[in-house]
């Protein structure tokens, strides 16, 4: 499935039963859509959005997952190449592609690493959810509001408390809010290799320069 893009066999693998159980815990149920050799494809319906999760095992019937994929297809939306470029600039683990038919595909392919850890796996699912959210915000029309979709942001008291006003310059120099947020002892800078995304490449490998955090020690 993704091996042609990610470059060969993987040493790490996750037990397929643990992966499927975690997916069921997160989404409340899966639809088994089919198998093709070592590839198993599951359908997910979550909060009104349909997508698939694909599991590539090391070999047919091995029970060991070495790669995972996500796919969502959006049909009937008026999406321009400019919008697709804007979407891709904001995606974390995915890539968006508009086909000749006008359909928009959102795809992610990930290599597993290390032993299976449910907490880290849930973070991966949250990254996919974030990419779905960014895509939906772009294709839902000019009236779409990310803040309006976030329940707490609709509460006036919450909106007032969360205000962060731009600070006035001190002695003619702008105040570095990022440095203040990270703390005086933590001199950190955005990683220049990945631009702060923590990921690099078409299928979002962890950036080796910053180890996936998006930040490096400032020099």
The reply to whether 160 falls in a domain is no
pLDDT at 147: 65
Residues 11 and 108 in one domain: yes
Taking CA atoms, 195 is separated from 133, 180, 199, in Å, by 21, 20, 9
End-to-end alpha carbon distance in the chain: 41
The reply to whether 41 falls in a domain is yes
Checking if the pLDDT of 125 tops 50, the result is yes
Q: In sequence order, which ranges of the chain are alpha helices (DSSP H)?
A: 3-6, 16-27, 81-90, 118-139, 156-161, 177-182
The reply to whether 33 falls in a domain is yes
Give me the CATH number covering residue 125. Answer: 3.30.1460.10
Residues 52 and 135 in one domain: yes
pLDDT at 137: 86
Taken in order 107, 24, 75, 82, the sign of the CA dihedral is negative
pLDDT at 202: 53
Residues 177 and 133 in one domain: no
Residues 185 and 135 in one domain: no
Question: Domain limits at 206?
Answer: 173-219
The reply to whether 11 falls in a domain is yes
The reply to whether 166 falls in a domain is no
Per-residue pLDDT tens digits for 190-213: 677 776 667 766 556 677 777 666
Residues 123 and 189 in one domain: no
Taken in order 113, 119, 122, 126, the sign of the CA dihedral is negative
pLDDT at 57: 95
The reply to whether 198 falls in a domain is yes
Residues 133 and 177 in one domain: no
Residues 107 and 182 in one domain: no
Are 189 and 208 in contact, with CB atoms under 8 Å apart?
A: no
Number of domains the chain is built from: 2
pLDDT at 196: 67
pLDDT band at 13; cut points 50, 70, 90: very high
pLDDT at 85: 93
Q: What is the mean pLDDT of residues 68-85?
A: 92
Q: Chain-wide mean pLDDT for the chain?
A: 81
Among residues 139, 165, 200, which one ends one of the domains? Answer: 139
* Helices and strands counted in the chain (H then E): 6, 11
Residues 27 and 118 in one domain: yes
pLDDT band at 101; cut points 50, 70, 90: confident
The reply to whether 145 falls in a domain is no
- In this prediction the pTM is 0.67
pLDDT band at 1; cut points 50, 70, 90: very low
* Whole-angstrom distance, CA of residue 20 vs CA of residue 43: 12
């Amino acid at each position: 499935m993704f091996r042609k893009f990610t470059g060969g066999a993987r040493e790490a693998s996750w037990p397929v039963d643990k992966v499927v159980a975690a997916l069921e815990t997160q989404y409340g149920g899966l639809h088994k859509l089919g198998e093709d050799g070592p590839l198993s494809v599951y359908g997910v319906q979550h909060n009104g959005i349909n997508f698939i999760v694909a599991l590539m095992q090391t070999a047919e019937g091995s029970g060991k997952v070495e790669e995972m994929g996500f796919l969502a297809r959006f049909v009937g939306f008026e999406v321009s190449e400019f919008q697709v470029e804007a979407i891709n600039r904001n995606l974390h683990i995915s890539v968006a592609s508009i086909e000749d038919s006008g359909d928009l595909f959102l795809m992610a392919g990930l290599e597993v690493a290390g032993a299976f850890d449910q907490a880290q796996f849930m973070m991966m699912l949250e990254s996919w959810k974030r990419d779905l959210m960014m895509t939906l915000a772009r294709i839902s029309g000019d009236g779409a509001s990310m803040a309006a979709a976030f329940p707490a942001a609709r509460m006036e008291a919450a909106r007032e408390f969360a205000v962060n006003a731009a600070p006035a310059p001190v002695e003619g120099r702008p105040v570095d809010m990022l440095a203040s947020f990270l703390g005086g002892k933590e001199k950190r800078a955005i990683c220049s290799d990945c631009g702060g995304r923590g990921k690099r490449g078409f299928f979002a490998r962890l950036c080796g320069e910053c180890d996936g955090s998006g930040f490096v020690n400032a020099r």
